[in-house]
Structure 1
C-alpha cells in the first residue's frame, strides 16, 4: 500500500507522536469519546451556572443587583479565558494536552464548589428559611471555586471542537465529508447536555439542595474527563505551530510591503516555498482561492 493510504496527509500524529494511521486513529472511533465529553461538560457547566444568582442571594446574602453583577462578571471571565487556552494550544501544548491539563482545573473547581455548598464549615452558616449569613472565608472559597471553573473552561472551549475536526483528514475526500457531519453532532451533543441540565439540575437545586445541585454536575464533569482520556489511543494530534502572534505580524508586514505586487497567473508561485509541505511545523500550505475577492 502507498503511504498515503496508510497515514494521514495533514501532519497529524498519534498519542505516541508517530504518524497517524488512518485505520486505527481518528474518524468516528475517536469522535464518539469527544461527543460524550462535550455533552457531559455542557451538562456540568449549565447545571452549575443556571441558578447562580439565586444561590448568591439565598446563601451568600447578596442583593439582587450585586448577585447579578457577580454572575455577569463570572460569565465574562468564562468568555475571556478561552483566549489563554487557544494561545497555549496553538503555540506550545497542542489541543489534546491543553484540554488534558485544564480539565483537571475544571474538575477541581467543580469539586470545591460542591464542598462549599455541602460541607459544614465551608457552606454558608447562620441560615434561616430565606437566607444565610456566611463568613468572609466561606464566601472566598465559593468564588475561588467559581473562577477555577472559569479558568478550566478557558482551556476546553477553544480546543474541543477543533480537536474533533482534527480527527478527519482534509486531504482525504471521504473524511472531509464526514467533518461537516461531526459539527452537526457536536452542537447536537452540546445542546442535549445544556437542555437536560436546565430541566434536571434546576429542579434538584430548588427541591433537594445546593449540595446535590452542584454535586451532580461535578459527577458529570468527572465522567466527561474519563471519556476524554479513554479515547486517547484513537486520537489524531496536530502538533503546536509556534507563537501565532508572530505569524500574524508577519502577514501584516508582508501584506503592506506587497500591496503593489501583481498576482502571478501560476498559483504555485503564490506559496512561500516550492516544497509540498509548509515550513510551519504541524501545519500545511493553504490552497489558493479567489473567494476573498
Structure 2
C-alpha cells in the first residue's frame, strides 16, 4: 500500500505534484469496491423490509395494526443505530473496522431471519434476527464517509471526484432497492425461506467484496477519541470562565503550536477561528490557573472549540431536513391512499399503488447521471463554483422541487375529486366492488418522478454537506444527523396526519383524511404540505445566509 503522510494526506502524486496513473487506478478500484458493497447491502435490506409487514401478518399471525407498528418500530430503531456505529468509528475503531464489525452483525441477523423463516420458528427468534439486522444495518453514515476518504481533499481534481462519489453512492443504494424489491415476488411465489435466504447471501457477498478491496483503501481519519467528551470539555471550560474576557485578537487563544496544520486531536486538521458563538471562546482563554495546573476541563484548544461551533452551525440545517422528510414520506402513505382509488388496469394486469414508487427510483437513476454529467458542468460555467452549486444551494433546490411534487399531487387530487363528483362515486372507486374511477393510476407518475429529482438535490446534498462541514474527527457522527432528521421527519408526518385528521373532522365532518378518502379533502392536505415546504424553504434561506463554512489551517 502507498504511503500515507502523518497529516492524513496521501503521498502518491508524481514528483511535479500531478496525479499519477497509479493513483487514478487506486481511487477507481477503492470506489468500485465500496459502491458494489453498498449495492449488496441495500439489496439485502430492502429484500427484508419491503414485504416485512406481510410476513408479520401471515406467518407470525399478527394483526394489521400490530404488524404495521412493529415495522415502524423496527425502522425507527434502524434510524438510531447509525449513531452508535458513527460514534464508535469516530471515537475508537476507525471507519474500516466499524464497517467490518457491523457487517458481521448483519450477516448474523440475516442468518437468523432465514433460519426462522425456513423452520417456521417462533416470533422471538425472528425478532432477534430482525433487530440484529437493524443494528448491523447502520452503516450508511460510516460507509459514505469512508468512501469519501478515498479522495485527497488537498487535490482539487480529487475533490471534484469526491463530490461525484456521493451521487454514485446514492445511485448504488437505489439499484439495491430495485433488486431488494424483486424479492417480494420470491417471498410470495416461492417461499419465505428462500426469499430471506437470498438477502442473507447478498449480505455475505458484501463482506467478501469489502475485504477484497482492503489493499486499495485509504484508511482515512484515525479515531480521535470521544467527540462527546471533547464537546463536554468545551462547555464546562467556558462555563467555568464565564467572567473571563475574550481577547479581541483570536491569535492569542490556546492552540497546538505546530507548523504542520494539525491539531492536538489525532489526525485532525486545525480549524480557523470564527466569530460566531463567542461565549465558547472563553474555553480557549489561557489564565494563570491554567498555566499552573493545566486541565482539559478548564482549557481547550481553538480547534476543539470550533468543533462544537461546527456542530451548532449544522443543527439548523439538520432541522430543515425534518419538514423535507415529512413531505417526502407521503410517497409511502398518502400517495398510496390516493393511488388505491385510481384505475390500476393495464391490459389484463392490475398495478398495485405501492408499485408506483419504482418511478421514484427510476427518476433517481435518471437524475444522478444527468446532474453529475450535464447539470454540474453547465452550472460550473454559470456560477464559477468548482462544484457547480454550493452544497447549501444544492439542498435548497431540492426543497423547492419537493414543493412542486406536493403541488403536483394536490392538482391530481383536485382532478380526482372532480371525477368522483361527476360520476357520484363517493363510496365506490376503490376497486372492492369491481368499479374504478375512470382515471388511470399512471397520472401519479409525475409526482413520483418529481420526488426522485428532489432526492438527488437534497438527500445527496445532505450526505456531501455533513461530511464536508463536519470536523475531521466527527465526520461519521455528523453524517448520522441526516439519518436522524429522516426518522424525525417520519414522526413529524405521523403527527401532522393525526392533528389534521382530528382538527378537520370536528362537528361530524369527515375531515381531510377519513377512512374513505373519496369523502375527504386530500387535496387540502397536499396544499398544507406545500405551504409547510415553502415556510421551511424561507427559513432555510435565512439559515443559509447565516451559515459560515468550515475552514482549516492548511
Q: Does 1:202 align with 2:458?
A: no
Partner of 1:292: 548
Question: Per-residue deviation at 1:175?
Answer: 1.4
Give me the whole-angstrom Cα distance separating, in 2, the residues matched to 1:96 and 1:178: 21
Partner of 1:30: 30
Question: Per-residue deviation at 1:289?
Answer: 6.5
Question: Per-residue deviation at 1:145?
Answer: 0.6
TM-score, length-scaled by structure 1: 0.81
Q: Does 1:11 align with 2:8?
A: yes
Change in Cα spacing, 1:91 to 1:6, as seen in structure 2 (3 Å) is closer
Partner of 1:188: 171
Aligned alpha-carbon RMSD (Å): 2.6
Count of residue pairs brought into register by the alignment: 263
Query: Which runs of 5 or more residues in structure 1 are unaligned?
Result: 13-18, 125-137
Change in Cα spacing, 1:229 to 1:263, as seen in structure 2 (3 Å) is farther
Give me the whole-angstrom Cα distance separating, in 2, the residues matched to 1:253 and 1:26: 44
Q: Does 1:240 align with 2:240?
A: no
Residues 20, 236 of structure 1: 8 Å contact kept = no
Residues 39, 176 of structure 2: 8 Å contact kept = yes
Q: Render the CA deviation track for 1:174-226: whole Å, top value 9, x for unaligned.
A: 2112110110110011111112222x111111211111211111111111111
Change in Cα spacing, 1:6 to 1:177, as seen in structure 2 (3 Å) is farther
Please show how residues 29-68 of structure 1 align to structure 2 within 5 Å. 29-68=29-68
Change in Cα spacing, 1:255 to 1:189, as seen in structure 2 (3 Å) is farther
Give me the whole-angstrom Cα distance separating, in 2, the residues matched to 1:271 and 1:162: 30
Question: Per-residue deviation at 1:264?
Answer: 3.5
Structure whose CA Rg is larger: 2
Give me the whole-angstrom Cα distance separating, in 2, the residues matched to 1:241 and 1:50: 38
Residues 8, 21 of structure 1: 8 Å contact kept = no
Partner of 2:205: 223
Give me the whole-angstrom Cα distance separating, in 2, the residues matched to 1:47 and 1:60: 18
**Structure that is richer in helix per residue:** 2
Change in Cα spacing, 1:53 to 1:208, as seen in structure 2 (3 Å) is same
Residues 27, 175 of structure 1: 8 Å contact kept = no
Question: Per-residue deviation at 1:8?
Answer: 5.0
Question: Per-residue deviation at 1:21?
Answer: 4.7
DSSP-derived class of the 1:94 partner: helix
Give me the whole-angstrom Cα distance separating, in 2, the residues matched to 1:86 and 1:6: 26
Which of 147, 154, 172 is residue 131 of structure 2 equivalent to?
Answer: 147
Q: Render the CA deviation track for 1:136-176: whole Å, top value 9, x for unaligned.
A: xx11110111111111113x232100111111111222211
Question: Per-residue deviation at 1:7?
Answer: 4.3
DSSP-derived class of the 1:222 partner: helix
Residues 40, 220 of structure 1: 8 Å contact kept = yes
Change in Cα spacing, 1:210 to 1:263, as seen in structure 2 (3 Å) is farther
TM-score, length-scaled by structure 2: 0.44
Give me the whole-angstrom Cα distance separating, in 1, the residues matched to 2:255 and 2:215: 35
